[in-house]
């Protein structure tokens, strides 16, 4: 299990939240991982924070699109950076991968993210809508050859050409969704110039692109360059403690246009009655920041500053999850969903909190029976090291483990 003391002195220099692990732990059996306390990704991908901090002021109410988001590493980081005033739309075109993205977003528990399952071309209907668009394009994966040797057999010149063409199509499809003056980050985990610099040069030749001032400390070993005047960054494994990574940063030309959104297809959200809203609000630590809405039979919570954007996007695209899924109301009482337990601002004043031992925590995550001795009657919030893992309900002399069946740890 990962403990903070293990990470001291192992900071990723370009990301204040990033740490190098001294060894690969067994994530599957680490309750801290299942609580959403950390997410594992390559250090190079965390350079997104360096870009973000240099270009945006803290607490700016941003609309961010992570276009090729699964499995969710950059999404979780952007969610943290955006905070309660911002909104992150995390899109994945492949439905199965989008499901993994949903799981990771809910586990992360910030509550400011929508997961969509759309083709990049669908975002053109949200014209000039986003302040920041990240395109981590599907690529030939040359930067992963060292980490995953099997990927070498999948490489070919034909695949490089295919990936370069696909990256350009994706960029062209999403360009209209970026507002004038907005920032585009284009990245890959490959080395060749066709998918990297030549794609940036193509973009600059086809669209109104402007350079931005983003830098990296020379001591980090990142190779900083340019393509058509746009800043580029290359992470080579022999120079940087990371697998291969490439990123380019540019600004969309600042024309005078207005945001356009398509007409809504149907009404999705409905306000709650007063008592329903009061019942939902008591489960959140700072309910004054939130708007509570009914979506079908479910109650969702959204940060108020971005709810209008949530509504517009939900009425235009295929949304798989949004905000905080709180639960359903039965007899005026909320039956909480798992995602509410993992929400960073879940209230611990409304239900009993039971701290589990390491063995108990793993048993809970396996959806095994838990002794009801320390539980109070009704719903309890179970924690490990103070981190919520989920809900459990005591019914007399027995307990009902409410951990989602599809997320349970299976026998290893």
The string of pLDDT tens digits covering residues 182-228 is: 999 999 999 999 999 999 999 999 999 999 999 999 999 999 999 99
CATH 3.10.450.720-classified regions of the chain: 262-348
**Statement: residue 292 has pLDDT above 80:** yes
Looking at residue 6, its pLDDT comes to 63
CB 148 within 8 A of CB 117: no
* Residue given tokens 């290893």 in the structure block: 412
| In contact, 76 and 48? CB cutoff 8 Å | no
Q: What is the pLDDT of residue 376?
A: 97
Residue with the bigger pLDDT between 154 and 304: it is 304
Closest CA to 79 of 105, 54, 118: 105
* Model confidence at 239: pLDDT above 90: yes
Q: What is the mean pLDDT of residues 280-300?
A: 97
Mean pLDDT of 237-265: 85
139 is catalytic: no
Is the pLDDT confidence value at 409 over 80?
yes
Q: Which of 15, 189, 209, 326 is an active site residue?
A: 189
Domain 39-252 has CATH 3.40.50.150: yes
Tokens of 321: 């999850």
Give residue 22's pLDDT.
Answer: 81
For the chain, give me the number of helices (H) and strands (E)?
A: 11, 19
Kindly tell me if the per-residue pLDDT of 5 is higher than 60: no
10/5 Cα distance (integer angstroms): 10
Mean pLDDT in the chain? 94
Interior angle at CA 89, CA 86 and CA 91, nearest 5:
165
In this model, does residue 38 exceed pLDDT 90? Answer: yes
Q: What pTM was estimated for this model as a whole?
A: 0.95
Q: What is the pLDDT of residues 63-83, one digit of tens each?
A: 999 999 999 999 999 999 999
Residues of 47-86 as b/e, b for ≥16 C-beta within 10 angstroms? bbbbbbeebbeeeeebbbbbbbbbbbbbbbbbbbbbbbbb
SS3 of residue 376 by DSSP? coil
Q: Could you give the 3-state DSSP secondary structure of residue 70?
A: coil
Q: Encode pLDDT of 358-376 as tens digits.
A: 999 999 999 999 999 999 9
End-to-end CA distance of the chain: 17
Residue 264 contacts residue 307 (beta carbons within 8 Å): no
Whether the predicted pLDDT of 11 surpasses 90 = yes
**What confidence tier does 412 reach under pLDDT thresholds 50, 70, 90?**
low
Does an H or E element contain 122, and which? none
Query: Domain 262-348 falls in which CATH fold?
Result: Nuclear Transport Factor 2; Chain: A, (3.10.450)
Q: Where in the chain is the domain with CATH 3.40.50.150?
A: 39-252
């Amino acid at each position: 299990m990962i403990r903070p003391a293990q990470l001291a002195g192992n900071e990723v220099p370009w990301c204040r939240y990033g740490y190098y692990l001294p060894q690969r732990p067994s994530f599957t059996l680490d309750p801290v991982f299942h609580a959403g306390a950390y997410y594992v990704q390559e250090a190079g991908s965390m350079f997104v924070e360096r870009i973000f901090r240099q270009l945006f002021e803290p607490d700016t109410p941003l609309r961010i699109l992570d276009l090729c988001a699964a499995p969710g590493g950059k999404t979780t980081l952007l969610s943290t950076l955006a905070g309660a005033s911002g909104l992150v739309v995390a899109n994945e075109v492949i439905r199965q991968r989008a499901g993994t993205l949903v799981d990771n977003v809910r586990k992360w528990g910030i509550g400011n993210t929508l997961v969509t399952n759309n083709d990049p071309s669908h975002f053109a209907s949200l014209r000039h809508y986003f302040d920041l668009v990240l395109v981590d394009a599907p690529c030939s994966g040359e930067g992963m050859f060292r980490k995953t040797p099997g990927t070498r057999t999948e490489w070919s010149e034909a695949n490089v050409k295919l990936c370069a063409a696909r990256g350009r199509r994706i960029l062209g499809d999403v360009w209209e969704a970026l507002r004038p003056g907005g920032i585009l980050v284009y990245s890959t985990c490959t080395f060749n110039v066709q998918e990297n610099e030549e794609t940036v040069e193509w973009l600059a030749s086809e669209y109104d692109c402007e350079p931005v001032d983003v830098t990296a400390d020379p001591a980090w070993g990142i190779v900083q360059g340019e393509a058509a005047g746009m800043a580029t960054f290359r992470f080579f494994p022999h120079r940087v403690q990371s697998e291969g990574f490439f990123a380019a940063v540019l600004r969309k030309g600042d024309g005078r246009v207005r945001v356009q959104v398509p007409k809504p297809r149907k009404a999705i959200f409905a306000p709650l009655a007063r008592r329903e809203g009061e019942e939902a609000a008591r489960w959140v630590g700072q309910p004054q920041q939130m708007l509570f809405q009914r979506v079908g039979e479910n109650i969702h919570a959204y940060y108020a500053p971005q709810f209008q954007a949530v509504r517009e996007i939900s009425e235009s695209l295929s949304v798989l999850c949004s905000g905080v899924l709180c639960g359903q109301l039965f007899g005026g009482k909320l039956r909480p969903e798992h995602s509410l337990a993992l929400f960073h601002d879940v209230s611990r004043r409304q239900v009993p909190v039971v701290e589990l031992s390491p063995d108990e925590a793993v048993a809970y995550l396996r959806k095994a029976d838990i002794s009801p001795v320390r539980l109070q009657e009704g719903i309890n919030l179970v924690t490990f090291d103070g981190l919520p893992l989920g809900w459990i309900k005591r019914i007399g002399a027995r307990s009902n483990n409410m951990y989602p069946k599809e997320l349970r740890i299976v026998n290893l």
